[in-house]
Amino acid sequence: MQHELILRGARIIDPSQNHDGLADVAFANGLVSGFGRGLPAGEETEVREMNGAIVTPGLIDLHTHVYWGGTSLGIDADAFCRQSGVTTSVDTGSAGPGNFAGFRKHVIERSEARILAYLHVSFAGIYGFSKTVMVGESQDMRLMAPREAVAVAEANRDVVVGIKVRVGAHASGEQGIAPLEIALQVAEETGLPLMAHIDEPPPSYEAVLAMLRPGDVLTHAFRPFPNSPVTAQGAVKPAVRQARERGILFDIGHGKGSFAFKTARAMLAGGFQPDTISSDVHALCIDGPAFDQVTTMSKMLCLGMSLTEVVAASTMNAALALKRMEHGSLKVGSLGDATVLAVREGAFDYVDVLGEHMTGDRRITSDGVVLRGRWWHPA
């Protein structure tokens, strides 16, 4: 097979292959077609000299909201991906069974960047989320649509990767944990993993964890008090450690109100890293405090995770959560997606959802994207 594109002489960080070093990576027919030193180029092969720039598998943002125009919180997936180096946006419940067809036809199928989705168990998805209107969709049990959710998930297996539900004082109100009970039934019926949102109590962080199954994802896992995963003394709560032992996955899901430096410092000090790093980017946080995926990755880098760990949490680990191992890797035969990153040194201001500022000494930026085997220029 003749390679169509070769990235030559990159520092390739690919945790799926336990690789961090200089190599070439090649693409053809939308897939990775070669990996190693000195890959041969044909007459029609496009060769891009990386000169030691960092190349990773295409970044996966496990928590986004990209139903642009269909929901008030949606952003444009292609514009976001060009800026942030994300090749796969995973939309987490913007659409439910009542409006998923529109999301698929008008956004997913028209987007150049890849979009996968957790289907909301609520019939209309997240429909009342703006600066002036804030209605928790899980507060009305009449909107819970388990039968319809099963049918839509089964009919869209190519893009639906799991079931989403939001619980907490803001999202489910007086209904408490009941929407999670329904969503778990949908997940069981379809054989799909579940992603649970948690905000302020009730229910408690511990109560939600107790109901999740191995392979399910708790997003907003490093949220501030109340419903923080750490005690007042800064220790990781026993229920959190026990949940990890059972196979529950912990996702950052930064967003507008769900990531605190204080919590993150305590979790990392306790030896508890997130399984996945995600931005939870939407219309109310894309201009801060979340901004994008590489900013969220930068925060975790400056808080003490290594660059390899940060990349793994945005590639291989996200693919594991999705159960789609063709993503998040530069192994030959994997999807032909890659991200070119730079780590710049200096003094950079970061802010969390509580308004705390942190000066970090590094910032990760995206300098280019390969999507479906072709060079996709950044904005």
- Backbone φ, ψ for residue 54 (5° rounding): -80, 130
Q: Is the dihedral of CA 172, 93, 328, 309 positive or negative?
A: negative
- Regarding whether 283 and 227 lie in a shared domain, the answer is yes
Query: Is residue 328 one of the residues assigned to a domain?
Result: no
Question: Which domain CATH number covers 280?
Answer: 3.20.20.140
Q: Is the N-terminal amide bond of 378 cis, ω within 30° of 0? A: no
Query: Is residue 102 one of the residues assigned to a domain?
Result: yes
Helix (H) or strand (E) holding 128: strand 128-129
- Regarding whether 86 and 204 lie in a shared domain, the answer is yes
- Regarding whether 103 and 93 lie in a shared domain, the answer is yes
- To the question of whether residue 280 is assigned a binding role by annotation, the answer is yes
- Backbone φ, ψ for residue 26 (5° rounding): -125, 160
- Regarding whether 339 and 205 lie in a shared domain, the answer is no
Domain boundary, last residue among 322, 341, 356: 322
- Regarding whether 131 and 98 lie in a shared domain, the answer is yes
For the chain, which ranges sit under pLDDT 70?
Answer: 378-379
- What pLDDT is attached to residue 379? 47
Pairing of strands 249-250, 54-57: unpaired
- Regarding whether 241 and 99 lie in a shared domain, the answer is yes
For 138, 274, 331, the CA distances from 259, given in Å and listed in that order, are: 22, 12, 33
- Regarding whether 226 and 105 lie in a shared domain, the answer is yes
pLDDT tens profile 162-211 = 999 999 999 999 999 999 999 999 999 999 999 999 999 999 999 999 99
pLDDT tens profile 243-296 = 999 999 999 999 999 999 999 999 999 999 999 999 999 999 999 999 999 999
Query: Is residue 106 one of the residues assigned to a domain?
Result: yes
- To the question of whether residue 256 is assigned a binding role by annotation, the answer is no
Query: Is residue 327 one of the residues assigned to a domain?
Result: no
Domain boundary, last residue among 322, 342, 368: 322
- Terminus-to-terminus CA distance in the chain, angstroms? 31
Is the Cβ–Cβ distance between 216 and 322 less than 8 Å?
A: no
DSSP code of residue 212: -
Helix (H) or strand (E) holding 90: strand 86-92
- Regarding whether 141 and 99 lie in a shared domain, the answer is yes
Domain boundary, last residue among 298, 322, 346: 322
Pairing of strands 338-351, 54-57: antiparallel
Question: Which residues are bridge partners to 251 per DSSP?
Answer: 276
Query: Is residue 194 one of the residues assigned to a domain?
Result: yes
Query: Is residue 142 one of the residues assigned to a domain?
Result: yes
Query: Is residue 113 one of the residues assigned to a domain?
Result: yes
- To the question of whether residue 164 is assigned a binding role by annotation, the answer is yes
How many residues are present in the chain? 379
Pairing of strands 134-135, 128-129: antiparallel
Q: Which residues of 232-246 are buried (b: 16+ CB within 10 A; e: fewer)?
A: eeeebbeebeebeee
Place of tokens 């969220």: 296
Q: Which of 10, 55, 60, 5 is nearest to 32 (CA)?
A: 5
**Average pLDDT over the chain, rounded to an integer:** 97
Query: Is residue 307 one of the residues assigned to a domain?
Result: yes
Residue 268, both tokens: 């990392």
- To the question of whether residue 331 is assigned a binding role by annotation, the answer is no
- What pLDDT is attached to residue 378? 55
Question: How many structural domains does the chain have?
Answer: 2
- What pLDDT is attached to residue 14? 98
Range of the domain at 186: 58-322
- To the question of whether residue 140 is assigned a binding role by annotation, the answer is no
- Regarding whether 292 and 178 lie in a shared domain, the answer is yes
- Regarding whether 158 and 14 lie in a shared domain, the answer is no
Question: Which domain CATH number covers 351?
Answer: 2.30.40.10
- Regarding whether 131 and 184 lie in a shared domain, the answer is yes
- Regarding whether 80 and 49 lie in a shared domain, the answer is no
Q: Which of 278, 266, 276, 212 is nearest to 239 (CA)?
A: 212
For 19, 195, 342, the CA distances from 244, given in Å and listed in that order, are: 26, 15, 32
Helix (H) or strand (E) holding 206: helix 205-211
Q: For the chain, how many helices (H) and strands (E)?
A: 10, 17
